[in-house]
Amino acid sequence: MDNSLSKALIMVGSVLLAMIVMAFAAHAFMKIGGWATTQDDEVLIAQKEEFNREYEVYDKNLMYGVDVISCLNKALSNNEKITNRSVVNGNTYDETYEVKVKVTLTKTGTNQLKPLEESITVSYRDNTGKEHDYTSDEGPKDGSAMVKLSDMNRQFQFLNKSYRSISKFNGNTSLVTQTETCDKLKNVFEFNITKDGSGTNEEETRDLLSLADTVSETIKNTDSKTNAKGKYEGWTKAEFKSALYDLKTRRFRCTSLTYSDIGRVNYIEFEEI
């Protein structure tokens, strides 16, 4: 009888001990799971804040176009990650990451909209050693003959082929020293970047941004008689400034910066001032 009671007590004790161990294990698991969830939430919040800071730096009342170009390129790169379903820091970029950017050119002091322009300037040194810009196709004298820019076009073919699809000058100086509105941008006063390329004038915007290597270019005359160290008359350099250079040097302000329902930056707007 005593032996049976002892066995029964041992069995009850074993069951109670097992229940205590299981309860402790369940409690520990819940605590660890809760801690892990908290850690994950903190990481997501930190990543969102870092994402937002990349665009909030452009929320200014005064900046030059170089900042606007930087923001356009940043949004373009970001939206391409969505299209490619890229994984960054363990997160797959989806539609919630889209950032739209809008840039508007405004009216000038003459109340006229001013499209983006490009310019080319060819300089020469006179017989006193002073450098001037060409004012017509007729340049300085070279011996007894006038030097014509149209005779030197081959030396000024320095625009890359991609940019020529936008440029008014088409890589040649027969238009002489002047400023021109880009053919492709002459009626473009709004630039946009979206995820799917559906923004107003977005094709022109993307074309312009893709030509960052042609912001400006300078060719110098390497002839020892007329280069920077020479003393004789003749052309000294040709400098081209693209439409992207014009955008880079204009002044803007941020007029809108909004966030999505989940607190991520999703729209920025700039206006020329």
Q: How far apart are the first and last CA of the chain?
A: 101
Q: Over the stretch 105-123, which tens digit does the pLDDT of each residue have?
A: 986 655 678 899 988 887 7
pLDDT over 90 (residue 250): yes
In this prediction, residue 85 carries a pLDDT of 85
Question: 178: pLDDT confidence band, cut at 50, 70 and 90?
Answer: low
Q: Over the stretch 11-50, which tens digit does the pLDDT of each residue have?
A: 766 767 777 777 776 666 666 555 545 666 676 788 889 9
pLDDT over 90 (residue 4): no
- Report d(CA 63, CA 60) in Å as an integer: 7
pLDDT over 70 (residue 232): no
In this prediction, residue 179 carries a pLDDT of 78
Amino acid at 188: V
For residue 94, how many C-alpha atoms fall within 13 Å in the half-sphere facing its CB? 4
Domain boundaries, the chain: 2-105+253-272, 117-188+198-249
> pTM of the predicted model, to two decimals?
0.73
In this prediction, residue 118 carries a pLDDT of 86
In this prediction, residue 175 carries a pLDDT of 42
- Report d(CA 83, CA 246) in Å as an integer: 31
Q: Over the stretch 65-110, which tens digit does the pLDDT of each residue have?
A: 999 999 999 999 999 999 888 877 677 888 889 999 999 998 665 5
